[in-house]
Amino acid sequence: MAAARVGLVSSSFSHALHASSSSTSTFTVSLRPPRLRLPPYLPRHHLLPTNYPRPSSSAARPRRLRATMSQAAGNPYAAELAAAKKAVTLAARLCQAVQKDILQSGVQSKADQSPVTVADYGSQILVSLVLKMEAPASASFSMVAEEDSEELRKEGAEEILENITDLVNETIVDDGTYSVFFSKEGILSAIDDGKSEGGPSGRHWVLDPIDGTKGGDQYAIALALLDEGKVVLGVLACPNLSLGSIGNLNGGSSGDQVGALFSATIGCGAEVESLQGSPAQKISVCSIDNPVDASFFESYEGAHSLRDLTGSIAEKLGVQAPPVRIDSQAKYGALARGDGAIYLRFPHKGYREKIWDHAAGSIVVTEAGGLVTDASGNDLDFSKGRFLDLDTGIIATNKQLMPSLLKAVQDAIKEQNQAASPLEMIKLVSVPKVQQDLLKLDVQTKADRTPVTVADYGSQVLVSVVLKMELPSNPFSMVAEEDSEDLRKDGAQEMLGHITKLVNETIINDGSYSITLSKEDVLVAIDCGKSEGGPSGRHWILDPIDGTKGFIRGDQYAIGLALLDEGKVVLGAMACPNLPFKSIDHNGVSSGDQVGALFSATIGCGSTVESLEGSQPQKINVCSISNPVDASFFESYERKHCMRDCTSSIAEKLGIQAPPVRIDSQAKYGAVAQGDGAIYWRFPHKRSKEAVWDHAAGSIIVTEAGGLVKDASGNDLDLSKGRYLDRDAGIIATNKYLMPLVVKAAQEAMKEEGILG
């Protein structure tokens, strides 16, 4: 779920009836809520907690649903299947209403995805309602679902809770099946019906209320039933999926009618029908047996797909077609009806697969005649709790292709595991030796910064060489700070010789590669960083030494490396040779003895820190301070990167008591990510252009540690525009609690300083 959320505007009508906290009666509605309007800004931590109405008798249950269930002879789960279809269809109706509001008002272009969050909660509530209303009165109820009410029970979340309550009640009234009305406490109780841990015993519903929040148009409401550890039925409501085949690389429809409802019950096959209502049709996976003729699905979101790996798998199989990239379990549905032959899901290392992301989709595929396994060929085991205990990735295809697919997968994984990680590259280029030589010679006070320049160039050469050595089959693009222009001028031969010597000595001392670079090799390697980046493809982003003057002083500097995939930063590694593991004081000095920190983050997998000398990585998190009076903040040591009159005004408006911690380089991002301070802001002077390499690695390390990184207007940083950021006035990094307060204070201070109009 997005780190910042927007709530729908609270409707103005008064509730006619509320379910009391102790009542189990069914309530009727005497007022119809008006249509909800679009959301004002409301951060996620301002989201907060009311009783769940159960039917008093079977009379409250819909006759038409019971009739449908009685017609399904031979299906031992007919009643449950009918209830599941009803539940996801009703939830889909709510989601479509929210999405329509988003599209009409242009909110889809914003980074803040709160209206989707409102739909997440609303969908889960409606599914819980229908299942409880339709289940036998004597049946115990257990549901494993994605959402809980924790955020909604926090102070300041009353408005968004009211919005969810209004939206749910409006959907129930519009549907007309149930005479119930939710109070706010009932909403919270219904959400928390999904807190079951599941397991190998008993029956447990498994729900993803909206699977594919960012999904390139496609999303799904996915509901399955687990019985004694086995998935026995599943339904997928895919409101934007065509009833015909998927016809293009973005998962677009090749026909006009959209809204597909997939269903499957163990031993009874799989079906698809229209969400608007149509006769169900049996479906089957495709019968392709030659991978050359196959097409494959993978996730639209980079966090769920190691595209280097899936590309390698496709190449080994001889697959000719480009991948079809859509998100959500809609891929399982499309595969089950034969739109494609293979589905590959290989998330980044450390990502834990949740059972609600696969339970419904997997049974739809298997009942359509397909197979779904992990990367070692083992069946998925949904009996272990809320997470899958699996090996590396998930693959789905037909029986004919599975043996060759498994072999290609295992061969590609083996090759990938032999490659060095970006962390090892960063360790190789941390250049402490050059800094030691600087300090011995007392050069830091001179205007001539040649040794620093040697380190800048040498660092960039080594990263370029290692990336090309470890990823030889991939197209190579790197956006980096340095180029070889000055080194190609008359009189630069001595410096070029120093760089070449330093690089070759470092390679020899490391021992990983048996290569020696010539001067021309060095120049070519430097110029590998001349890419313009952009929104398409993959681009490495490197700052070979960030914080040059800190480097000269013997203080903080960083080597920052990030990977941009289709315009999004998907991983970052940052070496901070002088940053301590323990907290730093207001001069940026260590409170402990051990220094040399290596930070890393991969999208969806969190952030870690380890010693540059080698240690076990430790998970890190931003601090949880919510009162700015208790906060400390980082800003740049160099004045050109910091309008101190403006930042002092911001601190004063927030009531911050602590003096600023002033250090240079992206080390500040690392310090914020591990909780050394609460805020980092950067407000350079006018006309200063922010380079992508100054923020790419640091920003993902903060966001994966649970923080937020925004510009001064509260927008996410966009690193897809080329070599420079297209941002508004300044950059702010902090936790989700403080961000709205800091943005407000920053905008007020900038207006007073004449920075904003």
* 694 known member of a binding site: yes
What angle separates helix 158-175 from helix 184-191, to the nearest 10 degrees? 90
Q: What is the DSSP letter of 40?
A: P
Q: What is the DSSP letter of 202?
A: S
Distance in angstroms (rounded) separating the CA atoms of residues 281 and 304: 31
Active site residue 373: no
Distance in angstroms (rounded) separating the CA atoms of residues 251 and 244: 12
CA distances from 402 to 269, 381, 409, 724 (A): 20, 18, 10, 45
H or E stretch at 227? strand 220-227
- Of the candidates 26, 112, 117, 120, the residue annotated as catalytic is 120
Long-range contact pairs involving 507-516 (C-beta distance under 8 Å, separation at least 24): 507/462, 507/465, 510/428, 512/420, 512/424, 512/428, 513/465, 513/466, 513/469, 515/465, 515/469
| Six token digits for residue 592 | 């402990």
Handedness of CA 580, 703, 638, 440 (dihedral sign): positive
Which amino acid, 615? S
Distance in angstroms (rounded) separating the CA atoms of residues 175 and 427: 60
CA angle 494-497-500, nearest 5°? 155
- Give backbone dihedrals phi and psi of 177, rounded to 5 degrees, phi first: -80, -35
Distance in angstroms (rounded) separating the CA atoms of residues 606 and 112: 20
Beta-bridged to residue 344, according to DSSP, are 395
Q: What is the DSSP letter of 27?
A: -
Distance in angstroms (rounded) separating the CA atoms of residues 336 and 693: 43
Of 272, 279, 276, which is closest to residue 367 (Cα–Cα)? 272
- Of the candidates 68, 177, 213, 548, the residue annotated as catalytic is 213
Distance in angstroms (rounded) separating the CA atoms of residues 19 and 125: 15
**In whole angstroms, how large is the CA radius of gyration of the chain?**
28
Contact yes or no for 670/698 (Cβ under 8 A): yes
3-class DSSP state of 694: helix
Alpha carbon 12 to chain centroid distance? Answer: 35
Task: Encode 261-292 in three state secondary structure.
Answer: EEEEECCCEEEEEECCCCCCEEECCCCCCCHH
Distance in angstroms (rounded) separating the CA atoms of residues 22 and 42: 31
Distance in angstroms (rounded) separating the CA atoms of residues 522 and 517: 6
Q: Left if phi > 0, otherwise alpha if psi is -120 to 50, otherwise beta: which for 482?
A: beta
Long-range contact pairs involving 363-366 (C-beta distance under 8 Å, separation at least 24): 363/224, 363/231, 363/232, 363/233, 363/234, 363/264, 363/266, 363/270, 364/234, 364/236, 364/262, 364/263, 364/264, 364/270, 364/332, 364/333, 364/336, 365/270, 365/285, 365/332, 365/335, 365/336, 365/396, 366/264
| Six token digits for residue 451 | 């040794």
* 752 known member of a binding site: no
Active site residue 120: yes
CA distances from 162 to 3, 28, 647 (A): 20, 19, 36
* 508 known member of a binding site: no
Contact yes or no for 658/632 (Cβ under 8 A): yes
- Residue-wise DSSP of 207-222: EEEEE-TTSTT--EEE
The residue to which tokens 């040794």 are assigned: 451
Distance in angstroms (rounded) separating the CA atoms of residues 283 and 263: 10
Distance in angstroms (rounded) separating the CA atoms of residues 111 and 719: 13
Residues recognised as catalytic: 120, 213
Instruction: Return binding residues for Mg(2+).
Output: 481, 543, 545-546, 694
